[in-house]
Amino acid sequence: MNSKYQLLFEPLALRSGVQLKNRIVMAPLTNFSSNADGTVSDAEVDYYIRRAKGVGMVITACAYVTPNGKGFAGEFGADSDDMIPSLRRLATALKEQGTRAVLQIFHGGRMCPPELVPNGETVSASAIAAEQPGAVVPRALTDQEIEEMIRAFGETTRRAIEAGFDGVEIHGANGYLIQQFFSPHSNRRDDRWGGSLEKRMTFPLRVIDEVKKVVAEHAKHPFLVGYRLSPEEAETPGITMADTLAFLDVLADKQLDYIHVSLMDFWSHPRRGVESTRSRIELIQERVGHLVPIIGVGSIRTPDDALKALQTGVPLIALGREIIIEPDWVEKIEQERETEIQTTVTQDDQARLVIPDPLWQAIMNTPGWFPVVKTSGRL
């Protein structure tokens, strides 16, 4: 390995005692490929195995914690004990590759397609539709339902422990239910769950507390708890960078193993709420990076991109689309073959990359999502 990349391969011990062999994480990315009954499919397991060997940690695609939280066709479930064998199969397959296996736990809230949830009824913090074409107005959850939802995140954590995962990532990002409670766009409540900025933090913080309580009760080995957030929203009203910095101050006291900042571009700048010429990730790292490890993600394509990102002080870098395009991203750096890292896909690459049909169709039919080129020129 070229010595300049040594920083990428430094091990890291997390607060829980979970040890990571390097600083590269496979980011959670929905693959639309689970079985209709919510179990993990053979194609999905093969897809993960193909990508798990080099990275220090794999964060799975999101798994729904209740039947009305299913956000995608082909999403796998973690909403009942019947799903534990399916979850165990995935955790075992990942750990056999020498990586840490982390289950991302999730509820889609108002972003769930009605046809995927019982009775077609979507729920959220308030009866406010998302600002997108065809969005339906969700039903506001009752106080009792919110308490039950918090317990559901805890129960799913117990299942992850029993299935052999090394941790869970609480999905508080990308406009889904936990973020919907924090957002002034989707949360218009005037009870204990909403109103002020502090009250809008209540639901995510209660979820974290419940998850950590379950870990303390059930985990017999080190088990990590991470939290993913999106730092801003485009909507008005919406989450601002100032809101997120205030939230981070509270999250930093929650003894989390990491905070995962969901960004399309690692170097993107704030929209509003702060006056700064620096990137969001640099502001976050300065604010709480000395208290809790930060995972950065977004358009980190090459080893030099990753090195530059780590030099901000952020200790962990996640690869999403990049590791789908190049499953051997980490190994090629280790073998001094970094010049062979692929950054595009062709229409002939599905079998070579071990990508399930539903994900492959999404890649091919979503212009701009992946860099698709016509000719191969493979090494």
Tens of pLDDT, residues 335-348: 999 999 999 999 99
CA torsion, points 109, 298, 331, 350, in degrees to nearest 10? 60
Tell me what percent of the residues of the chain surpass a pLDDT of 90.
98
The answer to whether 228 and 171 are in contact (CB under 8 A) is yes
- Looking at residue 275, its pLDDT comes to 86
pLDDT, tens digit, 9 for 90 and up, residues 235-258: 999 999 999 999 999 999 999 999
Do 21 and 11 contact (CB within 8 A), yes or no? yes
Q: What is the number of other CB atoms lying within 10 angstroms of the CB of residue 95?
A: 16
Averaged pLDDT for residues 220-232: 98
Look at the alpha carbons of 112, 100, 257, 27 in this order and tell me if their dihedral is positive or negative: negative
Mean pLDDT across 47-60: 98
What mean pLDDT is reported for the chain?
Answer: 97
- The residues carrying an active-site annotation are 176
What's the pLDDT at 379? 45
Token look-up 């929905």 returns 30
Contact 343, 326 (CB under 8 A): yes
Question: Can you tell me the mean pLDDT for 308-321?
Answer: 97
Q: Of the CATH numbers 3.20.20.20, 3.40.50.300, 3.40.50.970, 3.20.20.70, which one belongs to the domain with range 3-373?
A: 3.20.20.70
**Rounded percentage of the chain residues whose pLDDT exceeds 70:** 99
Cβ pair 287, 241 in contact under 8 A = no
Report the alpha-carbon distance of residue 123 to residue 310 in Å, rounded: 39
Q: What pLDDT is attached to residue 376?
A: 54
Rounded Cα distance between 377 and 198, Å, is: 54
287, β-bridge pairs = none
- Indicate if the pLDDT at residue 375 is higher than 80: no
Confidence of residue 276 (pLDDT cuts 50, 70, 90): confident
Measured on CA atoms in the order 174, 94, 23, 210, is the torsion positive or negative? positive
Tens-digit pLDDT profile for residues 195-205: 999 999 999 99
pLDDT value at position 228?
98
306 touches 329 (CB < 8 A): no
Q: What is the pLDDT of residues 106-130, one digit of tens each?
A: 999 999 999 999 999 999 999 999 9
**Domain positions in the chain:** 3-373
- The model carries a pTM of 0.97
Chain centroid, CA 305 distance in Å: 20
- Decide: 20 and 102 in contact? Cβ < 8 Å: no
Q: How far is Cα 378 from Cα 226, in angstroms, rounded to an integer?
A: 37
